[in-house]
Structure 1
């Protein structure tokens, strides 16, 4: 499962880089044609980047939710579950030590 997650993240990063490069090229072409000034191009690119970051955060949140659901459905122990078990084990060990 880790491999699938890694592949998905790599694909997302690759798409983001490709999209960024494509957006820069399109904006550069518009500047060359005189349809945008360099300042307008920068502002537009920054706006696109900000929207992309917001979309990425939303996507990350959805992926996190889905991943948690899958792990929950598979009944995989969480860090919290393991921590709780460690605490219980420590309590039992202390009780046993007191009895001996």
Structure 2
């Protein structure tokens, strides 16, 4: 396989990884209101400030923050891998 085709396929694969990380991050990010809705028993307080202190809500928010951090790192690593390949392809197109 030609080096340009290999680089092109690699950059497409990395772009798909980057897009997948973004889609996954959007799916696991919770707003405090969402965490309250999911993690609070139906007989809870009427005030969101009190509900935010509940252990289940705190657990959901902590999981969401961790997932977001991990997926941002995956996206950043993928983007960094794409840079030299994109530069190599660009230089081959210009020459």
Q: Specify the TM-score bucket, using the shorter chain as the normaliser.
A: 0.3 to 0.5
Select the structure of larger CA radius of gyration.
1
TM-score, normalised relative to structure 2 = 0.47
Choose between structure 1 and 2: higher helix proportion: 1
